[in-house]
Amino acid sequence: MTAARLEAAAIREEWLGHALSTSPADRSAAEAGISELYRLVGRKAPAFAWVRSPAEAVPHIPPMPRLRADLFSGRAADWPLSSLLADRYARLRDRLDMCVDRRRIPAGWPPWTTKLRTLPEEELSREASDSVHQSVLDAVLGPIRLAHKVVTGESRGLAWYGQHDAHWLAHYEIWRRVGGATYAHDDVRELEIWAVLARSCGWWWPVEGLCTVSERPVEVNTEPAGESGQIRLHAADGPAVRFADAWSVYSWHGTRVPRWVMTDPSVERIAAESNVEVRRCAIERLGWDVYIEQAGLKLVGSALDPGNQGSELRLYDIHNGFSRVLLAVNGSLERDGRRRMYGLTVPTSIDDPLAAAGWTYGLSAAQYSQLVRRT
Amino acid sequence: MTVTLASLSRQTGLSVLDHLEQEVTIPVLDGIQAQGDLLVIPLPVVADVVSIRADVRWTGVPAGGVELLRGAAGGNPHTLVADPLTCRWTTSINDRLGLALGLFEASEPVYLLHPEHGATGFVPGTYVVRRQREQVAAARRPGSATADARNRNRFIED
C-alpha cells in the first residue's frame, strides 16, 4: 500500500515538474512528436515556427476555422487539420477513459456499486490524479489561458498545450501504473507521442503545413496549495510566470491579478478597480494598515483585543456597500520583532470591534471577550 | 514535567521558527484561546450550536501529534500534541455555523503547536476547534438580487 502511495506521488511529482519546467524546449523531440501526429491524421510533416511565448505566437496563428455543416460532410480528407487532430485526440481519450472506467465499474453493474468495491489503489489513483489536475489545469494553464485571451482578444486557432497537457497524461499514467487500468497497445504508443510533447515544449498551434510552437516560460513561481501536493501560482514582487519575450502572468496566492497589483498597488488604483478579488489582493499586497491610513478610512470604533497583550482591534468603514474592515494584530512576533497587522472584512451591520472579532469565529462580543490568550 | 516549545519540538519532531522563545514554559490555561487562524473554545461556550454526531469516530492523539489544519499558503500545520491515551480527536461533529474543524477531549493538559505561532496549552476538558472566517463578495451573477445571496464567507489562512 505504501509502495502504491509512493508511486502515485512520484508520478504526480514527475508530471507536475514537466508542467512547471522552465527549461528551453527540446525542439527536435517536439518537432518529431508533432510531425508524427500530423502523419497519424494523414498529413505531411509541417514546417515549424518557434516563438518565445504564447503571446508572440498570436500574429502567426489564423483564427479558429468556422465550423460549418458542409465541412463535416463525412469526407475526413476535407476537414481542417486542427479538426482532424481534435477528433483523433478525442477518440484516443474516449478509449482510454473506457479502460479507466472499467476499473471503476464492472461491466453490467449499476454505477452506484463502485461505492461498494473501491480499492485502495483506486482511491490513491483518484487522489493523485485530482491533485495534478488542480495544480496544472486549474492553477497554471487556466490563468495563463485567461491572460492569453486578453492578448488575442478572441479565441484564435486551436491550441494544444505541450507541458500544460501534463494533467491528463498524468491521469492515464497513474491509472495504468497504480490503479490497474490496461490500455490497448496502439493507444499506449499514441499516448506516448503526447507525453513526449508534454516533456519537451510549450503551447503549439497546428495548421496545414505549418506548426507554431512556443518555448516554455523562463520563470514560474508557485506556493503549496493543498493537502496532497497541489500548488498555485504566487509571486509577491514580480511575475508568477514570465516568458523570454517578457510576456508575463501575475498571481497573488493563486488569484490572477493585473501587473499594477505587484508594481504599483496604490489607493487610487484600488479604488478604480471593479473586480473585488483583485481589489482584495491589491490591498493585501499593500498591507491593510498602510491601505487604511492612505485611504483615510473612517474609524467606527476600537477596543483592546482580549488575550492579546495590549493590542487593539480597530473597525473601519470601507464604503463598498457590504462590509466593514477589522484591523487586527497578530498574537505572535514576526522575525523582525514586530507584530503583523491584518484586515478582516465583516458584515456592515456590525458596529462593535469585539462583536466583529467574535463574528469571525461565530461568537458573540461577550463570548469573544473571554478569550484568555492569543498567539 | 515542564513543557516548553523546545520539549514539544523534541517530542513531535516538528520544528518551530528560531526567533520564538524556546525555553519558556507554555501556559496551560482554562478558556478560549486563539492560535493564528484557529480558535479553541471550551465546548460549553458553544454547546447550543455544536454537537457530536451519533456516528462519531474518534482518533487517539499519539505522542507525535495530530495535524488539525495545514495553512494552504505557507504549508504550516497546527498540530495537537498530547501524552498517549490522554486525548482523542474527532471531526464527526455538527456546527450550525460550519466553522468547526473538529473537537478534542483531554484528560490531561494538551498542547497545540505551530511553527510560527508557538504553542498553546489547555487544561483537561472538551474543546471545539474553529476556523476564522471573513466576508467576501461573491461574483455578481444576473438574478442574485439580494445582498445575502451575493456575500459569502472565506476562511482565513495564515
Per residue in A289-323, pLDDT (tens digit) is 899 999 999 999 999 999 998 899 999 998 777 78
Contact B135 A346 (CB under 8 A): yes
- Report the gap between the CA of B59 and the closest CA in chain A (Å): 19
Do the Cβ atoms of A162 and A130 come closer than 8 Å? Answer: no
Q: What is the mean pLDDT of chain B?
A: 86
Residue with cell 524546449: A25
Match 458573540 to its residue by C-alpha cell.
Answer: A364
Rounded mean pLDDT, A229-235: 93
How would you write A224-290 as a 3-class SS string?
ECCCCCCEEECCCCCCCEECCCCCEEEEECCEEECCHHHHCCCHHHHHHCCCHHHHHHHHHHHCHHH
Asked if residues B149 and B131 have their Cβ atoms less than 8 Å apart, the reply is no
Q: What is the DSSP letter of A216?
A: P
Q: What is the average pLDDT across A86-97?
A: 95
Please give the pLDDT value at position A140. 96
Question: How long, in residues, is chain A?
Answer: 375
Any alpha helices (H) in chain A, and if so which ranges?
Answer: 2-19, 27-40, 54-57, 81-104, 120-132, 142-152, 166-177, 185-200, 260-263, 267-272, 276-286, 288-295, 353-359, 365-368
Backbone angles phi, psi at A234, to 5 degrees: -160, 130
Cell of A260: 499594477
Residue A161 confidence (pLDDT): 97
* Mean pLDDT, 10 residues at a time, chain B of 158 residues: 87 82 91 95 97 95 89 71 95 96 97 92 98 74 43 72
What was the pLDDT predicted at A88? 95
| pLDDT over threshold 60, residue A115 | no
What pLDDT shows up at residue B138?
56
Tell me, what's the ipTM? 0.90
Place of cell 438580487: B145
Do A362 and B46 lie within an 8 Å CB cutoff?
A: yes
d(CA A197, CA A199): 5
* Segment A314-334, tens digit of pLDDT: 999 987 777 899 999 989 887
- Whether residues B136 and A276 touch (CB distance < 8 A) is answered with yes
pLDDT, position B148 = 43
Contact A367 B32 (CB under 8 A): yes
Give pLDDT, residue B74.
46
- What does the pLDDT average to over A196-214? 96
Does residue A268 register a pLDDT over 50?
yes
Residues of A in contact with B72 (CB under 8 A): 224-226
d(CA A81, CA A344): 53
CB contact under 8 A, B117 and A320: no
Supply the pLDDT for residue A23.
Answer: 98
Q: What global pTM score does this model have? A: 0.74
Residue with the larger pLDDT of the pair B98 and A228 = B98
Picking from A246, A252, A242, A295, the residue whose alpha carbon sits closest to that of residue A275 is A252
Look at residue A227 in the predicted model and tell me its pLDDT. 73
> Exposed/middle/buried for A271, CB within 10 Å: 0-12, 13-18, 19+?
exposed
Query: What is the least distance, in Å, from the CA of A223 to any CA of chain B?
Result: 6
CB A289 within 8 A of CB A341: yes
Nearest CA in chain A to B114: A375
Place of cell 509577491: A236
Mean pLDDT of chain A: 89
B111: left (phi over 0), alpha (psi -120 to 50) or beta: beta
Q: What is the pLDDT of residue A343?
A: 87
Question: How far is A204 from A137, CA to CA, in rounded Å?
Answer: 16
* pLDDT for res A173: 96
Give the residue-averaged pLDDT of A56-78.
70
**Interval A165-189: pLDDT, tens:** 999 999 999 999 998 899 999 999 9
Q: Where are the domains of chain A?
A: 3-219, 297-369
In this structure, chain B runs to a length of 158
- Choice between B157 and A56, residue whose per-residue pLDDT is larger: A56
Flag whether pLDDT at A110 surpasses 90: no
Q: What percent of chain A has pLDDT over 90?
A: 65
Do residues A224 and A125 lie in contact, with contact meaning Cβ atoms separated by under 8 Å? Answer: no
Identify the bridge partners of residue B3 per DSSP, sorted by sequence position. Answer: none
Residue of chain A minimizing CA distance to B27: A373
Cβ–Cβ below 8 Å for A347 and B135: yes
Interatomic CA distance for residues A264 and A172, integer angstroms: 43
Residue contact B158–A253, C-beta within 8 A: no
What was the pLDDT predicted at A203?
Answer: 97
Q: Please check the confidence at residue A15 and state whether its pLDDT lies above 90.
A: yes
Q: Which of 67-126 (B) contact A at CB < 8 A?
A: 70, 72-75, 95, 97, 99, 114, 116-120
At residue A137 the predicted structure's pLDDT band, cuts being 50, 70 and 90, is: very high
pLDDT value for B144: 41
Instruction: Count the helices and strands in chain B (H runs, E runs).
Output: 3, 15
Neighbour tally for A294: CB within 10 Å: 14
Cα(A345)–Cα(B154) distance, integer angstroms: 10
| Whether the predicted pLDDT of A74 surpasses 70 | no
